[in-house]
Amino acid sequence: MIKKIGLSLVFALFVVFTIQAQIPGTPFFWQKKKTIAPCPPSNKSAVIDTDGDGIFDACDLDSDNDGILDGLEDSNGDGIFSTDDLEGDLVFGIILGNGVANYLDLDSDNDGILDLWESGIPISILNSIDANHDGIIDTGVAVGANGFADVLETFPDSGVAKYALADTDCDGVPDYLDTASNNLQFDLYAIGKSNLDQLGGGFITPIADVDHDGIMNNVDIDWTERGSANSPVSPYANNTNLSLTDTNGNGISDGCNVPDLAPSFILGNQGVLYSDFNPHNFVLTVNNTTSKVTNGSIVVELEYDPALTIFGSYQTGLTTIQVEDESATLQNVSVANADWTIANTGTKLILTSKPGVVINALSSSNIGLTFSRDLTITSGIDTFKANVTVGSGSETNGLNNAAIFPITYYDFSSK
């Protein structure tokens, strides 16, 4: 009979299990040691156990017990977990990260819906593993040597998630990082908490988190412990506004059936210009962020400040243009000017796709342009603002249709 099964040694970077059994009818024992080692190298702590499950973070596949593997929360895939800290959309996230990396953050996008409840785990399972709705898997849920809840794995200690990350609108951004999961409105607004958004970015502000669990103070009812049981934002999964909209009844969210267009710019040196460089080439890019091809006319308006002038005539046959990269090195960028018509009002350009032109799934269309700056105007900051008209190409999401690019000008001519 088995006399002893125990955990004999626990180290930060490996675990040794010892199984000892007596051979029936003899005084002899059979002993087997199993070593689970080493843990993959990472910058996670080898001495801290954030979720208190007995597994140090360095060996824990789910360090905060939010039901999402740490490897998936390394959103940029660089293997450095501490660099992933996005509060809200990417425009604001770089500046307003709350200092808590996603693998330890219980609400990585700060949209008022905790990561566990945006993970893609079925609601019936969620209610059984997080009874108090604090965004942390309950301590009574079985966890093996890898720190990931057994019920969420294909089999205990497999390290393979049983449930795929939720991406309700099929835009390639998982719900736990998407402030507008249904592609129609910000999640924070959908749960009736628009008053918590002071910047209009779709995430909770101000950024203040005393207990460093990723839940902002103004919705966290416990500032001393991780998680926030039945916080004012709960119950997350019961809000019907968050459910996907399926107009044609095919079982697929409307956001998955249509393209989604977002503009961006290519202009080197982060838009910093000097008096001895004029004019300047740049590229306006129209990105299709979903797996659906555009259908119909696409209209983009490009506004520019009075100090800026679109230089020369629009080159309809242009296929490449030289643009500086971020290191101020010239590079050739492919453009499709022949696909667009242009009208210049003096304060903005109106670009319209020609009949039959489409932007393929997860692809883009580049437009090459040239501008000059009025050098009689002193140093300052001017802007380009691109806006895709809502409904262009049959898209429905208007939350990501605008992009602003600042142009910083330094006049060295008098020095």
| pLDDT tier for residue 237 given thresholds of 50, 70 and 90 | very low
Which among 231, 257, 283 is the end of a domain?
Answer: 257
For 84-147, give the DSSP string: ----SSHHHHHHH--S--GGG-SSTT-SSS-GGGGSS--HHHHHHH-TT-SSS--TTS-B-TTS
pLDDT reading at 91 higher than 50:
no
Q: Does 169 lie in the same domain as 104?
A: yes
**Structural domain contains residue 183:** yes
Residue 320 shares a structural domain with residue 403: yes
* Backbone torsions φ then ψ of 321, nearest 5 degrees: -145, 145
pLDDT tens, 349-381? 999 999 999 999 889 999 999 887 776 777 677
Q: Do 130 and 244 sit in the same domain of this protein?
A: yes
Bond from prior residue into 41 cis (ω within 30 degrees of 0) = no
User: Does the pLDDT of residue 95 top 50, yes or no?
Assistant: no
Same domain, 89 and 206: yes
Same domain for 9 and 26? Answer: yes
Query: Which one of 238, 257, 276 terminates a domain?
Result: 257
The CATH number for 334's domain is 2.60.40.680
Q: Is residue 52 part of a domain?
A: no
Above 50 in pLDDT, residue 48? yes
Q: Are residues 264 and 159 in the same domain?
A: no
Residues 114 and 15 in one domain: no
Judged by DSSP in three states, 194 sits in helix
288-313: pLDDT as tens digits = 988 889 999 999 999 988 777 775 45
> Comparing 163 with 358, which gets the higher pLDDT?
358
Please say which residue of 197, 228, 257 terminates a domain: 257
Residue 24 pLDDT class (50, 70, 90 cuts): low
Which of 185-194, 247-256, 298-307, 406-415 is predicted with the least confidence, judged by mean pLDDT? 247-256
Domain membership of residue 139 (yes or no) is: yes
Q: Which of 2-16, 25-39, 271-285 has the lowest mean pLDDT?
A: 2-16
Are residues 218 and 73 part of one domain? yes
Could you give the number of structural domains in the chain? 3
Distance CA(103)–CA(124), nearest Å, equals 24
Asked whether residue 54 is domain-assigned, the answer is no
Is position 214 within any domain?
yes
- Is residue 79 domain-resident? yes
Q: Is residue 53 part of a domain?
A: no
Pairing status of strand 364-373 against strand 308-310? antiparallel
Q: What is the mean pLDDT of residues 208-230?
A: 79
Residue 324 belongs to domain spanning? 258-410
Is the same domain home to 227 and 279?
no
pLDDT level of residue 29 (50, 70, 90 thresholds): very low
Q: What is the mean pLDDT of the chain?
A: 76
Domain shared by 247 and 341, yes or no? no
Which pLDDT does position 7 carry in this prediction? 35
Residues in the chain: 415
Assigned token pair, 140: 């009574």
Are both 106 and 253 inside the same structural domain? yes
Tell me the pLDDT band of 404, cut-offs 50, 70 and 90: confident
Structure tokens at 259: 């393209």
Structure tokens at 89: 């959309």
Distance CA 360, CA 353 (A): 13
Give the pLDDT score at 357. Answer: 96
* Distant-in-sequence, close-in-space partners of 276: CB < 8 Å, separation ≥ 6: 412, 413
- Over the stretch 63-81, which tens digit does the pLDDT of each residue have? 889 899 988 887 666 666 6
Residues above pLDDT 90, as percent of the chain: 19
CA angle 400/406/412 to nearest 5° reads 170
pTM as predicted? 0.56
Looking at the structure, do residues 240 and 263 belong to the same domain, yes or no? no
- The residue assigned the tokens 């202009």 is 267
Peptide bond into 355 cis (omega under 30): no
Q: Tell whether omega for the bond before 235 is within 30 degrees of 0, i.e. cis.
A: yes
State the Cα angle at 211 between 209 and 212, rounded to 5°. Answer: 65
Residue 50 lies in a domain: no
